[in-house]
């Protein structure tokens, strides 16, 4: 069984559960299309407002534009952090290094996801239609997104500070333990040396 799983992963490139998830997604999509009908996804009067057009456009925009951009930004950030670490080198008196990469990635991804989901409201697209349907304006969307972004970065900063503090305390305990062990070893060596001197004098 493990050999068969290894061969499958080598051939397919992922775990079998990934294939099951993909098949389930296509099955769900087929069910939605069969229930709603193909006509629900295409607006012949205004083609660019069709669900199908926006879905394909979003997929192409993400895969061909957005993904390369944020992958490049992540690579630049990661490379810069690693380069800075190599230049600083290792010094026993310096505090332990705690990587901040994931503490930047998480709020950036969360903020970007919220921006994509609520972009029409943030840029107030279709304001008359939204007002007619809900009786409210789209003015709060931008402020709420900015507030969400600020909170996400603040929570990430607090988490990083806690992680950094715990790492410093752990390093301090390890350093104290190492110093105590070195002092004990030096004391033992000194005692053994004195014993040998006393035996030689006798």
Q: What pLDDT, in 10s, does the model give residues 55-73?
A: 888 888 888 888 898 889 8
Report how far apart, in Å, the C-alpha atoms of 60 and of each of 19, 57, 67, 72 are. 22, 5, 10, 18
Pull the structure tokens for residue 22: 């993909």
106 secondary structure, DSSP code: H
Flag whether pLDDT at 122 surpasses 80. Answer: yes
Q: What pLDDT, in 10s, does the model give residues 3-32?
A: 888 888 888 888 889 999 999 999 998 998
Structure confidence at residue 186 (pLDDT): 55
Give 29 or 98, the one with higher predicted confidence. Answer: 29
Task: Say what the pTM is.
Answer: 0.59
Structure confidence at residue 65 (pLDDT): 87
How large is the C-alpha radius of gyration of the chain?
30
Structure confidence at residue 192 (pLDDT): 52
DSSP 32-58: HHHHH-GGGG--SSSGGG-HHHHHHHH
Structure confidence at residue 99 (pLDDT): 80
């Amino acid at each position: 069984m493990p050999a068969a799983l290894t061969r499958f992963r080598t051939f397919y490139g992922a775990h079998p559960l990934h294939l099951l998830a993909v098949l389930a997604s296509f099955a769900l999509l087929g069910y939605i299309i069969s229930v709603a009908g193909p006509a629900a996804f295409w607006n012949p009067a205004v083609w660019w407002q069709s669900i199908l057009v926006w879905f394909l456009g979003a997929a192409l925009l993400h895969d061909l534009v957005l993904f390369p951009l944020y992958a490049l930004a992540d690579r630049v950030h990661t490379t810069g952090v690693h380069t800075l670490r190599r230049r600083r080198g290792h010094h026993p008196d310096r505090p332990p290094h705690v990587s901040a990469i994931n503490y930047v990635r998480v709020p950036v991804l969360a903020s970007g996801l919220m921006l994509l989901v609520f972009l029409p409201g943030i840029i107030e697209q279709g304001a008359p239609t939204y007002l007619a349907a809900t009786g409210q304006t789209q003015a709060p969307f931008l402020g709420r997104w900015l507030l969400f972004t600020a909170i996400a970065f603040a929570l990430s900063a607090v988490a990083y500070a806690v992680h950094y503090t715990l790492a410093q305390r752990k390093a301090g305990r390890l350093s104290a333990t190492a110093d105590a062990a070195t002092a004990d070893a030096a004391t033992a060596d000194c005692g053994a040396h004195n014993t040998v001197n006393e035996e030689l004098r006798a």
